[in-house]
């Protein structure tokens, strides 16, 4: 600017000197203003871009799966402990009120699994899916390996029959398991009846036929239905369990629990309780 003005002041038109100077100053001010506006506009633009970028990333987060939120929630210190200890505290004040899990136990299949339950000594029953023609070639070794997935024919002994005392221990152990989860686990309760899909069978090794009512009317006051059987196992497998239906959040709503009658003894009671908690944990997906 200085250079320009100096150059012009040396021009040979002194008449226009003042006017020209005035014009130049106005021009200069206008230029500075323009410059200022331009810089401002640019930074404003930049801000806008930044904002939209930020909004973009917010969108990504808010559209991500709800499971991420659940996992984040679980990661928060104290949360898991509180849930495990079952202290309601502030959790009851939350919008999504969680309630102790209601486990419904169905014993209808106990002693009524065709080809799989030991009803009398010397009954030959299926473990897994042994080839029919192989009888008695693939006889189970009750104390041998593999404990769970061996497909074989099992020769029933007196210990494999679930009599009155064994049935009583079964109900006691599973009742305790259900109570343990009631204290340990809070879930968003199922609204109305828990309705199961029309699976032909729920569970493993032939599973258990779902009662029609569970599909049509559903089960009242339940968050999880466990269908119980007492089929023999080999090795030291006390019990096993599998989930057979999950809700849209991946939470199990139906499962099959099998407890070996041979292990329904007074001596195994404590071990059985611990095992059942462990097995139902698996059903729930932990
Ligand atoms: C099953 O076990 C009993 C008693 O040990 C035995 O007498 C019987 O022969 C066995 N049955 C078969 C098919 O192996």
Instruction: Answer yes or no: is the C-beta of 136 below 6 A from any ligand 1 atom.
Output: yes
Q: Residue 29's pLDDT is what?
A: 40
Cβ of 78 less than 6 Å from ligand 1: no
Residues designated catalytic: 279
> What is the predicted pLDDT for the residue at 130?
86
Q: Which atom of ligand 1 is nearest to the CA of 139?
A: 14
The pick from 118, 120, 121, 122 for probing ligand 1's pocket by mutation, whose C-beta has the most ligand atoms within 8 angstroms, reads 122
| pTM for the full predicted model | 0.66
Ligand 1, residue 135: give the atom nearest the CA. Answer: 13
State residue 78's pLDDT score.
38
- Cβ-based neighbours of 134, under 8 Å, separated by 6 or more: 153
Mark residue 160 as left, alpha or beta (left: phi above 0; alpha: psi -120 to 50; beta: remaining): alpha
Separation of CA 147 and ligand 1 centre (Å): 20
**Residues pairing with 252 in the sheet:** 246
The predicted pLDDT at position 113 comes to 85
Cα angle: 85, vertex 91, 94; to 5 degrees = 165
Side-by-side strand order, sheet with 103-106: 103-106, 224-229, 252-259, 239-246
CA 278 to chain centre: 16
CB of 138 closer than 6 angstroms to any ligand 1 atom: no
Residue nearest ligand 1's atom 9 by CA: 122
**Ligand 1 center–CA 117 separation, angstroms:** 16
pLDDT at 3: 37
| Pairwise CA distance, residues 101 & 156, whole Å | 36
CA–CA gap between residue 50 and residue 267 (Å, rounded): 69
155 lines ligand 1 (CB under 6 A): yes
Helix, strand, coil percentages for the chain (3-state, nearest 5): 45, 15, 40
Query: Ligand 1 in contact with 120 (CB < 6 A)?
Result: no
Looking at residue 51, its pLDDT comes to 39
The DSSP element (H or E) to which 83 belongs, if any, is helix 79-85
Residuewise pLDDT in 10s, the chain (286 residues): 433 433 333 333 444 454 545 444 444 544 444 434 444 444 444 443 343 333 333 333 323 333 333 334 334 443 333 333 444 444 445 567 999 999 999 999 999 888 999 999 999 999 988 887 766 667 888 776 655 457 889 999 999 999 999 999 999 999 999 999 999 999 999 999 999 987 678 998 889 999 999 999 999 999 999 999 999 998 888 999 999 999 988 899 999 999 999 999 999 999 999 999 999 999 998 8
Dist. CA 35 → ligand 1 center (Å): 102
159 ligand 1 Cβ < 6 A: no
């Amino acid at each position: 600017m200085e250079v320009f003005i100096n150059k012009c002041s040396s021009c040979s038109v002194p008449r226009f000197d003042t006017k020209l100077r005035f014009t130049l100053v106005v021009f200069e001010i206008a230029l500075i203003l323009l410059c200022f506006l331009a810089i401002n506009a640019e930074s404003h633009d930049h801000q806008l871009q930044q904002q939209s970028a930020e909004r973009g990333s917010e969108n990504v987060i808010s559209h991500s799966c709800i499971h991420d939120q659940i996992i984040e929630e679980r990661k928060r210190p104290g949360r898991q402990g509180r849930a495990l200890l079952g202290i309601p505290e502030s959790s009851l004040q939350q919008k999504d009120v969680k309630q102790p899990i209601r486990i419904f136990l169905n014993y209808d299949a106990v002693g009524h699994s065709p080809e799989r339950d030991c009803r009398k000594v010397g009954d030959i029953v299926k473990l897994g899916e042994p080839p029919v023609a192989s009888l008695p070639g693939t006889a189970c070794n009750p104390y041998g390996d593999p404990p769970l997935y061996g497909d074989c024919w099992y020769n029933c002994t007196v210990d494999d029959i679930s009599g009155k005392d064994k049935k009583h221990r079964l109900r006691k152990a599973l009742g305790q398991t259900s109570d343990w989860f009631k204290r340990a686990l809070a879930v968003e309760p199922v609204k109305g009846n828990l309705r199961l899909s029309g699976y032909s069978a729920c569970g493993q090794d032939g599973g258990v036929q779902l009662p029609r009512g569970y599909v049509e009317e559903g089960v009242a006051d339940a968050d999880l239905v466990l269908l119980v059987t007492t089929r023999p196992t080999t090795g030291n497998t006390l019990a096993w369990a599998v989930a057979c239906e999950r809700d849209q959040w991946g939470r199990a709503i139906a499962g099959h629990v099998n407890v070996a009658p041979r292990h329904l003894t007074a001596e195994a009671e404590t071990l059985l309780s611990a095992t059942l908690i462990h097995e139902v944990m698996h059903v729930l997906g932990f």
